Amino acid sequence: MRRIVILGGGTAGTIMANRLHRALEPTRWEIVVIDGEPTHYYQPGFLFLPFGMYSRDDVVRPKLGFMPRGMKVVFTTAEAIEPADNRIHMADGSIIEYDYLIIATGSQVHPEETEGLHGEEWGHSIHEFYTLDGALALGELLGRWTGGRLVLNIAEMPIKCPVAPIEFLFLADWWFTRRGMREKVELELVTPLPGAFTRPMCSTVLGHMFDDKHIKLTTDFALAEVDGTAKQIKDWEGRSVPYDLLVSVPTNMGDAVIGRSGLGDDLNFVPTNPQTLQAKGYENIYVLGDATDLPSSKAGSVAHFQSEILTENLLCAMRGAPPAASFDGHTNCFIESGYGKAILVDFNYDTEPLPGKFPVPRLGPFTLLAESRINHWGKLGFRWIYWNLLIKGRSLLIPPRMSMAGKLPPPALKKREA
């Protein structure tokens, strides 16, 4: 019997486990999932925890509840991958061999990578919301905070869910307004990007919303250090930004096993063929989700689209055929904007987010690159879709390759902005 090992049992790994379980003959193929953490987290929900919109129970489930029945799941940390010998050394001393390896080890925040960030003020005047504990702690603080300068800083790119920092500030504007203390709070985004978002057209739209909501935007800020005593962040050019409360998006890095195995870049992300999703230089190793170095967003919808491409290409490899499917960087996500509204963006490697209707041209029901209430309900409804369809590898009725149906050309956006 031949073996496929999926390293990582988060969103991407769980999706692939379910898809391959349905696609492969169990008498010929054994699928093994390796992960050191038995709990599955709905990470998009972390955004809502600081504002009391979700509770811990909304974002936590046991991983085994989403794995196919009878599938071998090993809850042990991997120490090193030896691609030349097609095997993985485990922390308990065991060795697991594979015919094909799928790396889905995700990414984690590393505040220790920035001088002064993970110091005495961490958890006091400095917080983050990219982990469950961090989001819950931030929520406790906001509940008793009396106001001041709230600065959200992105240490460096790439990060998981690049719209989440923007959503946090939009929700903060709504939340402080609802509590009757918005005039006591200054909100500011400090980012290494030249605008609010990674894509220029979308960045322009969001920039106007920042102005309307009186949220300051400081761009091209390459974080060098955090001075917790003086409560300011500094960049490499000598600029500084003061804060009373710093909400940090620390450096995101791939799993340490990638670095120990010599398979990653400086941030432990695996160099990946952007179309076939093969690890560069390795015919029988594939990568998806946050573990890749691809310029697509690190988000659950992207992992789902990638999984459809990867399943097809892996089946081709098993037949000795070349890859038949090509990933185009398709990204689809809602951007919560507060006050019961949200924006929807749909784009890929080559095409900017465009205005229009989605998924049905002229009918929607969702509106692209503009606020609507139905978009907000789509954002909230995604949690049910995630737990019941997405991580089980079920169809979302959205093709993995981006469609131009329903999208308007860029001039329409310019006219709308005028």
Helix, strand, coil share (%) of the chain residues, nearest 5: 30, 30, 40
Determine the Cα–Cα distance for residues 351 and 368; give it in Å rounded to an integer.
Answer: 14
Is pLDDT at 371 greater than 70 in this prediction?
A: yes
Q: What is the mean pLDDT of residues 359-380?
A: 96
Q: What is the mean pLDDT of residues 329-339?
A: 97
Q: What is the mean pLDDT of residues 384-394?
A: 95
Determine the Cα–Cα distance for residues 223 and 191; give it in Å rounded to an integer.
Answer: 9
Determine the Cα–Cα distance for residues 360 and 405; give it in Å rounded to an integer.
Answer: 8
Q: What is the DSSP string of 311-339?
A: HHHHHHHHTTPPP-------EEEEEEEET
- Spacing of C-alpha 356 from chain mean position: 24
Determine the Cα–Cα distance for residues 252 and 20; give it in Å rounded to an integer.
Answer: 29
Q: What is the mean pLDDT of residues 120-149?
A: 97
Q: How do residues 187-232 score in pLDDT, each as one tens digit?
A: 999 999 999 988 888 999 999 999 999 999 999 999 999 999 999 9
Q: Percent of the chain scored above 90 by pLDDT? A: 94
Q: What is the mean pLDDT of residues 269-288?
A: 98
Name the helix (H) or strand (E) containing 363. Answer: none
Per-domain residue ranges for the chain?
2-106+255-318, 110-252, 331-417
Per-residue pLDDT, 70: 86
Neighbours of 354 (CB within 10 A): 20
Q: What is the mean pLDDT of residues 260-268?
A: 97
The overall average pLDDT reported for the chain is: 95
Per-residue pLDDT, 80: 97
Phi first, then psi, for residue 343 (nearest 5°) are: -115, 150
Which two tokens mark 130?
């990219």
- Please report where in the chains the tokens 């097809």 appear, as a residue: 312
Extended beta strands in 348-410, E state: 356-360, 364-368
CA angle 257, 262, 264 (to 5 degrees): 75
Amino acid code (one letter) for 291: A
Determine the Cα–Cα distance for residues 418 and 416; give it in Å rounded to an integer.
Answer: 6
Determine the Cα–Cα distance for residues 76 and 91; give it in Å rounded to an integer.
Answer: 7
Q: What is the DSSP string of 177-226?
A: HHTT-GGGEEEEEE-SSSSSSSSHHHHHHHHHHHHHTTEEEE-S--EEEE
- Please report where in the chains the tokens 């110091």 appear, as a residue: 119
Which two tokens mark 53?
């919109």
Asked if the domains 2-106+255-318 and 110-252 are classified in one and the same CATH topology, the answer is yes
Highest CATH level, class, for 110-252:
alpha beta
- Specify the fold of 2-106+255-318: FAD/NAD(P)-binding domain (3.50.50)
**Residue burial 263-284, b: 16+ Cβ < 10 Å; e: rest:** bbeebbbbebbbbbbbbeebeb
Residue 386 is classified by DSSP as I
Q: How do residues 283-315 score in pLDDT, each as one tens digit?
A: 999 999 999 999 999 999 999 999 999 999 999
**Beta strands at 185-190 and 215-218: parallel, antiparallel or unpaired:** parallel
Phi first, then psi, for residue 196 (nearest 5°) are: -70, -25
- Please report where in the chains the tokens 């006591």 appear, as a residue: 184
Give the CA distances from residue 139 to residues 53, 156, 168, 355, in Å, rounded to whole numbers and listed in that order: 10, 24, 12, 34
Per-residue pLDDT, 414: 47
